Structure 1
Amino acid sequence: MSADRPTTQHRPSSSPYLLSPGAYDDDATTIRALSDQESDSEDDQLMEASRSTLDLVQHDRTVLEEEEERERLLIRAKSSPTDGLRRIFGANPHDNGSFSVKIGKRDRSKRRRRELAALTSDRRRRRSSAQSNNDAMNLGEDDELMYEMEEGVCKAIDSDDDSRSESTVSSIFSDLDPRDIGSRGYCGSDSSCRVVSLITFAILILFSLLYLGAYKASSGYRISHHQPPNTISNGTSLFLPTTILISLDGFRADFLTRGLTPTLNSFIANGISPKYMLPSFPSVTFPNHFTLVTGLYPESHGIVGNTFWDPELKDDFYYTKPEKSMQPKWWQAEPIWATAEKQGVKTAIHMWPGSEAHIMGIEPTFLDKYNGSEALPRKVDRILELIDLPGEKDADIPPTITQRRPQLIAAYVPNVDAAGHTFGPNSTEIRTTIANVDKMLASILQGLESRNLTNVVNIVVVSDHGMATTSVDRLVQLEDLVDLNLVERIDGWPLRGLVPKRKEDIQLLYEQAKNHTAFMGFDDYLEIYTRETMPERYHFSKNDRIAPLWIIPKTGWAIVERPDFDVKLAQKEGKAYHPMGIHGYDHEHPLMRAIFVARGPSFPHKANSRVQEFQNIEVYNIVCDSLRVEPRPNNGTLRLPLKPVGLHSDGKTPPIENLDDQDPPKSTSSKTPVSTRSPVLQPTTATGHAGIPPPPPLKATQQSQGRPSSIIDRIIDKVKGWESDIFGFVGLG
C-alpha cells in the first residue's frame, strides 16, 4: 500500500475519474433529481466536494449497511405481519428504555418514498463501483478498502435479523414526529381510546365488586366458623370477650336519685349510660325481658303480654304457669343465648324469663331455673363461681374439670319489682330493697376487682320498666264500660284487651267503651283503641295475639272486674287496693322509664359518658357486639362503639328528678269517630254519681290507699309530704 495519498483536484466534467461527479450516467442524474425533491442534500454535498477514495468508500459503506438493513426489515414486515407487529411493539433490551408506538399512515408513506430513493441510490453506487473496479486496480489501498466494504456488507447480511431489525426500528423512530406520537398514543383514533378506557374502567369496577364480595364472604366465614377473637389476660387466665348482663326488674330510672345506690351511681360515673332507657309497650315483665334478648318489639317476637290468647294455637299464655308458658310454641324469636351458642359462645342464664322454654331446641350451657326466694348473696356467689371456671384458652387444666367459663352470663333480679308491687314504689320497704340490690352489685364489682377483671369483663346493668303507685280512687269498673256478655276473653293488666265472641261485635264494643267513658267523665284517664287505630309508636298491632280491642288507662289508673275487686264497695268500706304498685302503661311515661349502664373493654369511653336515650330494642345488638357475636336481624339499630353526646356532669341536661305520678303524654294516634248512638248499657254508680268526673290523680306522696288508721299514720304522711317538698324525693316511703 502506498504511503503517499494522491492529492484530490477539481477536474472538468470530461474527466475519466470514476468517482468524480461528472462520471455518473443518465440514471444517476435521474436519481439525483429524486433526491433533490426529497431535500436530501447530504449526498449532494459529498459528491460536489472533491474527496479522496478512502472518504468516499467509507461513506458508501456506512450508507450501504444502513440501507441494506432497512430493506431487509421492510421485506420481513411484508412477509410476516405478526412478526412485524412484534418488532414494532416488542421491547428492545438494547434500547435503554426506549419504547415503540404504532406508526401512522402518513408516516409510512413518507418513509416508503425515502427508502425507495435510498435503494435507487444504492443500486447507482453498486453500478459505479463495478465500473471503476478495473481502473482502480493499481490503487492497492482503494482495492483493499473496497474488499473490506464488501466483506462488511456480507457480514451485515449474515448477522442476526433481530439485531438489525431493532437498530432499524430505532432509526425509524428517530424520524417520527413526537407531536404525532403524543397525540395518538397507543390508540388509532379517539373512538378507540374511548372504547379502551370504558373497558378498562368496567374491569376495574368488576374487580372492586369481586374484592368487596370476597371480603364480606371471608368475614362471614370467620364468624360462622367461630374463629377465636382476641383474648385478654387478668394475669392468671385468658379471657375471651365476656359480658355479664344483669336485669333489675322494676327498677325505675329515678330510683337512682334517692341516695340509696352508691354503687350504681359510681358505676354510672365510671361507665357509659343514657339518662334513662325506654321500655317497650306494654311495659310489663315478660314482653320486655324477651325484647332485651332479641332486639324485637313484642309484636315481632310474639310475647305480647304477661297473659294473652293465641287464636291459631287456641290456647292461653299465662306467665305464672310455667308448665304452660315454658312450652316452646309460644316463643317465636331467637334469644341471645341461642344466637351465641350457635356461634360457639358458651352462655350461662340465671333465672331469665323464658330461658326454660327450650327455644329453638338450643339450651344455654348453664341454666338456672327461676327461684323467687333466692337470696341476693347467692346470686353473687353464682356469678363469681361461673367467672372462676377455666377459660377455653387456659393451659394446664386438670382433666377432672370439664366445664369451661361462659362468655355470657345473664342474671335476673326480681326483688325491686316484687317490693314495688307489694308495698308501692314510694314505700319504706322498696327503699330497703333498692339498697340491698345496690349492695349485691357492689359485691359483684368487688369480686371482679379482686380478680383483676375490672377492665377485662364487660358489665351491663339494665331494668325492664318502672313502677307507678295505685289508689282505690283511680280504679274503673270494666263492667261499667262494656257488655262483658259479648266478650270471650280478657287479656292484659292493668290495660285490658278484649277478645269478642264474634268478630262483628268489635265495633259495637268499641262504641260502648267510647260512649261510656265520655258519659262517665273518664275521657282524660282512658284511651280506647282497636288494633288498627293503635298508636304507631306502641308497635303493638301486627300480631294476631294482640287482642282486637284495647282499653288503656293513663299511668296510675287501673281497670278491674267486679269479681276481683268491687270499686264501690271498697270505697265505702275504706279498703285499699292491691297491688300497691303497677306498671304496663305507656312506655314513654316518665314513671315507666328503665335504666342502662355499661362498663368494660367493649365500652372504651370517657368515664361518666352520656349517650342519647334509646329504647330497649337496642340492648340485644349491644351485647352481641360486646361478645363479637353476629346478631340476628332485629328492630334495633345501635351498634358498638356507642357514640357519647357528652358527660352526665357537663350540665347540658338536667339530672333525673324524683317523679310524682304524672299524666302520660297525649296519644298521637288517630281514633275512630265515636258513634252518637245511645249507650247500650246504663252506667253503674260504682265510681260515683253518673256524669260526675272521678277525683283527680293522687300525688306519689299520698301513700295511704284508705284513711289513716291512727295519729302516727297521719304524722308519717305529713312528714313524707314535707320531705318531698323540701328535698325533691320521698324519704320515708
Structure 2
Amino acid sequence: MKLSYLYVKRLFLCGLIAFCLISPLSITGLLAQDTVQQVVPGRENLPAQEKKPYLIMISIDGFRWDLADKYNARFLKKMRSCGVEAKSMQPSYPSLTFPNHYAIITGLYPAHHGLVDNYFYDPKKQATYKVSNKNAVRDSSWYGGEPLWVLAEKAGMLTASFYWVGSEAAIDGVRPTYYYKYNEKIPIDSRISAVKSWLELPEAKRPHLITFYFPEVDHMEHLHGVDAPETAAAVKFVDQSIEQLYDSCKLTGLPINFIVLSDHGFANLDTTKYLSAPVLDTSHYLIRGGSALTHIYARDEVGQRGLSKLYKQLKLNATHYKVYKASKTPHFWHYRTKDDPNGRIGDIILVPYPPYSFYFGGRKGLGAHGFDNRLQDMQATFYCWGPAFKQHQQIKSFPNVAIYPMVARLLGIEIPKTLKIDGKIKTLAPILKEKDGH
C-alpha cells in the first residue's frame, strides 16, 4: 500500500480526535495550551563540550519490533541497514509509555525510578500520579534518577526536547535548556523546523542532545489494532516525517547521530474478552492502573489486615489473569516491594495476558500494551546510525535500560560513581566506534 505524505497526515488527524477518548498522552496534550518554546536563560555550552558529538534520539510510541517490515517503512529500513539494528529491544515492566520512556532516559527500571505505571498511588504522598494530570506530570517529586538531559546539563552540555516523559519537570532542579510542553496541536513541520533551528544556533548555544517523540502509531494501534490500515498509515507518516527531519538536519552540515527507538510493542485485543475488575470495599482499598496491569492498595489498617484474605480470594477466582503479591512478583520484572522504595506498586497486582484485558469503561479499543515484558508482541524497536556508530551491524535483543550508559559515552559525559543505574555499558558499547566516532 503506497500512501502519500499528505494523505497519511490527513488520515492520522481524522483518527486523532476519536483516540483522545482513550489516550492518556492525548489528554495531556489537549489540556496543555502552551505551544511556545520554553528556554532556560543564561546557559551556554562549556568550551570543552562544544566539539562533542550531536545526537537526536527519536521515540515512536508503540512501534513494535516488527512494524518497519510489516508496513515497509522504507526510510527506516534503509537507514538501519547502514547503521545498527537490534533484533528487538525489551521494554521494562510494565510495558507502558511513561514507565519506559523514563527507564530509557534514566537507565533505571520503573520500580527504581518511581514511575511504576501510567496511573498509580503513592501511599507516602497520599496522592495519585496520572499521565493526564499536568500538575503531577510537571511535579519533580514524582521522578527519581537523573535523566540524560540532567546529566548533560550538569556537565555543561546543552540539551533540547521536543517531548519526552519528565522533560517538563525540574528534576533535581534541571530541565532541558530548550523544551516544549506536551501539545499535539503543534504540526510536524513546525517541530522539524524547531530542531533544525536548534542545530543552527551558535556553538555556545547549540544543544548536543535532542529528544523527539511521535505518538501517532500508538494512537492508531489503541483504536484499531496492530493490523489495521490506520496503523499502516501512521507508520508511513512517521517514516516519512523522520526522513524529512533527517534531510532537514543534513542541511546544517553537522555530524549528527540518530537513535530511533520505541517504548514498547503492542498486542491486539478481543473486545469479547474484556475482564471486569474485582469489586472491592473502597473504604479500605484503592484500585489504580489500567487494562494490562491493575494495582490494589490497602488504604488503612483494616485493609492491611485483610490483604492476605483478599489475595486468596482473588487467586481462587482469577480467570485469564494472574494475581501477585507485590513482594512475590517474577524476579526478572525488577518490580517487587524490595525494588520499590516509594511503595508505589500495589499491595496486590492483577496481570492479564492478551487478548484478555481489564475494562474500566469508555471506548473498547482493539489494541493495548503494558503486559508481561517477555511477550513477543511487547518487544520494542531500536535502530541507530551516524558517525559515532558502527555500520551494518545487527545485534541481539537487549533491555532498554542499557541505552543510558551508551548515550553518555557517545556524548563524552562521565556518569558519577554516586549515580546508580541499572543499565550496563558493556551491553551496547560494542556498537560505538572507537573514540565514539570523533
Structure 2 length-normalised TM = 0.82
Q: Deviations over 1:670-729 (max 9, x none)?
A: xxxxxxxxxxxxxxxxxxxxxxxxxxxxxxxxxxxxxxxxxxxxxxxxxxxxxxxxxxxx
Q: 1:538 aligns with which of 321, 333, 338?
A: 333
Q: Secondary structure at the match of 1:532?
A: helix
Establish whether residue 462 from structure 1 lines up as the match of residue 261 from structure 2: yes
Summarize the alignment of residues 62-81 of structure 1 with structure 2, pairs less than 5 Å apart: none
The answer as to whether partners of 1:376 and 1:437 remain within 8 angstroms in 2 is: no
Per the TM alignment, residue 226 of structure 1 is displaced from its structure 2 partner at its CA by 6.0
Q: 2:175 aligns with which of 363, 369, 373?
A: 363
Give unpaired runs (5+ residues) of structure 1.
Answer: 1-224, 232-239, 393-403, 566-576, 645-733
More displaced 10-residue stretch of structure 1: 444-453 or 491-500: 444-453
Q: 2:136 aligns with which of 312, 320, 324?
A: 324
Establish whether residue 257 from structure 1 lines up as the match of residue 44 from structure 2: no
- 1:485 and 1:634 map into 2 onto residues whose CA distance is 37
Q: Deviations over 1:106-135 (max 9, x none)?
A: xxxxxxxxxxxxxxxxxxxxxxxxxxxxxx
CA 1:412–1:606 in 2, change beyond 3 Å: closer, same or farther? closer
Q: Secondary structure at the match of 1:420?
A: helix
What residue is the counterpart of 1:489 in the other structure?
A: 286
- 2:133 and 2:196 map into 1 onto residues whose CA distance is 31
Per the TM alignment, residue 484 of structure 1 is displaced from its structure 2 partner at its CA by 4.2
Summarize the alignment of residues 18-57 of structure 1 with structure 2, pairs less than 5 Å apart: none
What residue is the counterpart of 2:203 in the other structure?
A: 391
Per the TM alignment, residue 281 of structure 1 is displaced from its structure 2 partner at its CA by 0.4
The answer as to whether partners of 1:626 and 1:640 remain within 8 angstroms in 2 is: no
CA 1:269–1:509 in 2, change beyond 3 Å: closer, same or farther? same
What residue is the counterpart of 2:373 in the other structure?
A: 587
What residue is the counterpart of 2:15 in the other structure?
A: none
Q: Deviations over 1:581-601 (max 9, x none)?
A: 111001111111111111122
The answer as to whether partners of 2:137 and 2:168 remain within 8 angstroms in 1 is: no
Establish whether residue 500 from structure 1 lines up as the match of residue 287 from structure 2: no
Summarize the alignment of residues 122-521 of structure 1 with structure 2, pairs less than 5 Å apart: 228=48, 231=51, 240-392=52-204, 404-453=205-254, 456-479=255-278, 483-485=280-282, 487-494=284-291, 495-501=293-299, 502-517=303-318
Q: 1:616 aligns with which of 400, 403, 423?
A: 400
- 2:412 and 2:55 map into 1 onto residues whose CA distance is 11
Per the TM alignment, residue 329 of structure 1 is displaced from its structure 2 partner at its CA by 1.3
Per the TM alignment, residue 640 of structure 1 is displaced from its structure 2 partner at its CA by 8.4
The answer as to whether partners of 1:552 and 1:585 remain within 8 angstroms in 2 is: yes
- 2:71 and 2:141 map into 1 onto residues whose CA distance is 44
Q: Deviations over 1:523-542 (max 9, x none)?
A: xx211100111000111112
Task: Note the aligned Cα RMSD (angstroms).
Answer: 1.9
Task: Indicate the structure with greater strand content.
Answer: 2
What residue is the counterpart of 1:596 in the other structure?
A: 382
What residue is the counterpart of 1:638 in the other structure?
A: 425
- 2:218 and 2:231 map into 1 onto residues whose CA distance is 9
The answer as to whether partners of 2:49 and 2:156 remain within 8 angstroms in 1 is: no
- 1:285 and 1:303 map into 2 onto residues whose CA distance is 10
Task: Indicate the structure with greater helix content.
Answer: 1
Q: Secondary structure at the match of 1:642?
A: helix
Give unpaired runs (5+ residues) of structure 2.
Answer: 1-44, 432-438
- 1:629 and 1:556 map into 2 onto residues whose CA distance is 43
Per the TM alignment, residue 348 of structure 1 is displaced from its structure 2 partner at its CA by 0.4
- 1:487 and 1:602 map into 2 onto residues whose CA distance is 55
- 2:283 and 2:273 map into 1 onto residues whose CA distance is 26
Establish whether residue 606 from structure 1 lines up as the match of residue 379 from structure 2: no
Per the TM alignment, residue 629 of structure 1 is displaced from its structure 2 partner at its CA by 1.0
The answer as to whether partners of 1:249 and 1:413 remain within 8 angstroms in 2 is: yes
Q: Deviations over 1:570-622 (max 9, x none)?
A: xxxxxxx522211100111111111111112221x232x01221111011112
CA 1:367–1:334 in 2, change beyond 3 Å: closer, same or farther? same
Per the TM alignment, residue 293 of structure 1 is displaced from its structure 2 partner at its CA by 0.6
- 2:378 and 2:207 map into 1 onto residues whose CA distance is 32
More displaced 10-residue stretch of structure 1: 312-321 or 468-477: 468-477
Q: Secondary structure at the match of 1:498?
A: strand
Amino acid of the structure 1 residue aligned with 2:304: K
CA 1:416–1:374 in 2, change beyond 3 Å: closer, same or farther? farther
CA 1:439–1:487 in 2, change beyond 3 Å: closer, same or farther? farther
Q: Secondary structure at the match of 1:551?
A: strand
The answer as to whether partners of 1:486 and 1:500 remain within 8 angstroms in 2 is: no
- 2:274 and 2:257 map into 1 onto residues whose CA distance is 44
CA 1:347–1:503 in 2, change beyond 3 Å: closer, same or farther? same
Per the TM alignment, residue 347 of structure 1 is displaced from its structure 2 partner at its CA by 0.4
- 2:208 and 2:175 map into 1 onto residues whose CA distance is 15
Q: Secondary structure at the match of 1:418?
A: helix
CA 1:385–1:230 in 2, change beyond 3 Å: closer, same or farther? closer
- 1:485 and 1:323 map into 2 onto residues whose CA distance is 25
Establish whether residue 528 from structure 1 lines up as the match of residue 329 from structure 2: no
Q: Secondary structure at the match of 1:643?
A: helix
CA 1:550–1:581 in 2, change beyond 3 Å: closer, same or farther? same
What residue is the counterpart of 2:25 in the other structure?
A: none
What residue is the counterpart of 2:348 in the other structure?
A: 549
In the comparison of the two structures, how many residue pairs are matched? 376
Q: Secondary structure at the match of 1:381?
A: helix
Amino acid of the structure 1 residue aligned with 2:309: L
The answer as to whether partners of 1:458 and 1:626 remain within 8 angstroms in 2 is: no
- 2:409 and 2:372 map into 1 onto residues whose CA distance is 30
Q: Secondary structure at the match of 1:280?
A: coil
Per the TM alignment, residue 487 of structure 1 is displaced from its structure 2 partner at its CA by 5.0
CA 1:414–1:487 in 2, change beyond 3 Å: closer, same or farther? farther
- 2:251 and 2:427 map into 1 onto residues whose CA distance is 28
CA 1:641–1:287 in 2, change beyond 3 Å: closer, same or farther? closer
CA 1:390–1:307 in 2, change beyond 3 Å: closer, same or farther? same
Structure 1 length-normalised TM = 0.50
Q: Secondary structure at the match of 1:360?
A: coil
The answer as to whether partners of 1:555 and 1:586 remain within 8 angstroms in 2 is: no
The share of aligned pairs that are identical, in percent, is 29
The answer as to whether partners of 1:625 and 1:640 remain within 8 angstroms in 2 is: no
- 2:350 and 2:93 map into 1 onto residues whose CA distance is 14
Per the TM alignment, residue 546 of structure 1 is displaced from its structure 2 partner at its CA by 0.6
Choose between structure 1 and 2 for higher RCO, CA contacts under 8 A separated by at least 6 residues: 2
Q: Secondary structure at the match of 1:250?
A: coil
- 2:284 and 2:230 map into 1 onto residues whose CA distance is 39
